[in-house]
Amino acid sequence: MAGNRLVLTGSAVVSALLVGCTGTSGADGRAQQADALRVVGPFELHSLDPATSEGFFTRLGVAETLVEADGDGRLQPGLAVAWEESDGGSAWSFTLRPDAVFHDGTEVTPEAVTAALEAARDEPASPLADAPVRAVTAERGGVRIELDRPYAPLPAVLAHASTQVLAPGSVGADGRVEEVIGSGPYRVERVELPSVIDVVASDGWAGERPDVERISYQAVGRAESRALMAESGQADVTFGIDPVSRQRVEGADGVEIASVTLPRSILLKVDAGHEVLGDVRVRQALSAGLDREAMATALLRDPEMAATQLFPPSLPEWHDETVPALEHDPRTARELLAEAGWTPGPDGVLTRDGERFEVSLRTFPDRPELPVLATAVQDALRELGIAVEVQLGNSSDIPAGHQDGTLELALYARNFALVPDPLVTLLGDFRPEGADWGAMGWSDQELTGTLADLADGADDATADAGREAVAGILQAQLPVIPVAWYRQSAVVSDRVDGFTLDPLERSWRLDELSWSS
Partner 1 sequence: MAAGRAELVLVTSVPLPAAALQDGSARPPAGGDGARPGRLARRAAVRRVLAQRCVQAVSVTVLVSTACFAVVQTLPGDVAMRIAAGRYGYDGVTAATADAVRAELGLDAPAWQQLLRWWADLLRLDLGTSLVTGRDVGAELALPVASSLQLAAAALVLAVAVGGAVGTAAARHPGGLLDRLTTVWVAGARALPPFLLGLLLIVVFSVHLGWLPAVGHGSTSSVVLPAATLAVGLSGLFARVTRDTVAQIGGSAFVAFAETKGLRRRAVLVRHVLRNAGLTLVAYLGVQAVLLVEGVVVVESLFAWPGLGHALVHAIFWRDVPVLQAAAVALGLLVVLVNTVVDLAGLALDPRPRRREVVS
Contact between 405 and partner 1 per CB under 8 A: no
Cβ-based nearer residue to partner 1, 435 or 451: 435
**For the residues of 360-393, what is the DSSP string, one character each?**
EEEE-TTSTHHHHHHHHHHHHHHHHT-EEEEEE-
Collect all residues with Cβ–Cβ distance below 8 Å to 484 and sequence separation of at least 6. 265, 266, 292, 295, 296, 300, 305, 306, 307, 373
Cβ atoms 191, 65 nearer than 8 A: no
Asked if 494 touches partner 1 (CB under 8 A), the answer is no
Part of the chain binding partner 1 (CB under 8 A), chosen from 48-56, 283-291, 311-319, 351-359? 48-56
Give how far Cα 149 sits from Cα of 103, 130, 134, 363, Å. Answer: 36, 13, 9, 37
Q: What is the DSSP letter of 212?
A: -
Burial class (CB in 10 A: 0-12, 13-18, 19+), 269: buried
Q: Is 392 in the site for partner 1 (CB under 8 A)?
A: no
Q: Is 14 in the site for partner 1 (CB under 8 A)?
A: yes
List 163, 202, 216, 475, residue binding partner 1 (CB under 8 A): 216
- Say how far apart CA 385 and CA 331 lie, in whole Å: 13
In the bound complex, what is the minimum distance in angstroms from residue 24's beta carbon to partner 1?
A: 5
How near is the Cβ of 123 to partner 1 at its closest, in Å? 8
Q: Does 448 bind partner 1 (CB under 8 A)?
A: no
Query: 239, 437, 486, 499: which one contacts partner 1 (CB under 8 A)?
Result: 437
* C-alpha distances in Å from residue 13, one per residue of 16, 17, 25, 458: 5, 6, 18, 75
The three-state secondary structure class of 80 is strand
Query: Distance between alpha carbon 97 and the CA centroid of its chain, in Å?
Result: 28
Angle subtended by helix axes 369-384 and 330-339, to nearest 10: 60
CA pair distance 349, 345, nearest whole angstrom: 5
**In whole angstroms, how close is the CB of 141 to partner 1 at the nearest point?**
33
Quick note: the x/- pattern for partner 1 over 99-138, rule CB under 8 A, is -------------------------xx-------------
Based on CB atoms, which residue is closest to partner 1, 2 or 461? 2
491 lines the binding site for partner 1 (CB under 8 A): no
* Smallest gap from residue 2 Cβ to partner 1 (A): 4
**Cβ contacts of residue 418 below 8 Å, gap of 6+?**
127, 160, 424, 425
433 scored as a contact of partner 1 (CB under 8 A): no
The distance of Cα 499 from the centroid of its chain, to the nearest Å, equals 19
Please tell me whether residue 173 binds partner 1 under the rule CB under 8 A. no
Closest CA to 475 of 319, 362, 337: 319
Q: Is 190 in the site for partner 1 (CB under 8 A)?
A: no
Binding partner 1 (rule: CB under 8 A), the pick from 28, 87, 107, 139 is 28
> Does residue 189 bind partner 1 (CB under 8 A)?
no
Q: Per rule CB under 8 A, is residue 219 in the interface with partner 1? A: yes
If one asks whether residue 195 binds partner 1 (CB under 8 A), the answer comes out as yes
In whole angstroms, give the CA distance from residue 150 to residue 132: 8
The yes or no reply on residue 484 touching partner 1 (CB under 8 A) is: no
Told to check if 18 binds partner 1 by CB under 8 A, we report yes
Q: Rule CB under 8 A: choose which of 418, 483, 484, 496 binds partner 1.
A: 418
Q: For the chain, how many residues are written?
A: 517
Which residues in this chain contact partner 1 in the complex, by CB under 8 A? 1-7, 9-11, 13-14, 17-18, 21-22, 24-25, 28-29, 46-47, 49, 51-52, 54, 124-125, 176, 192-196, 216, 218-222, 224-226, 228-229, 231-234, 364, 366-367, 393-397, 399-400, 402-403, 412, 415, 418, 435-437
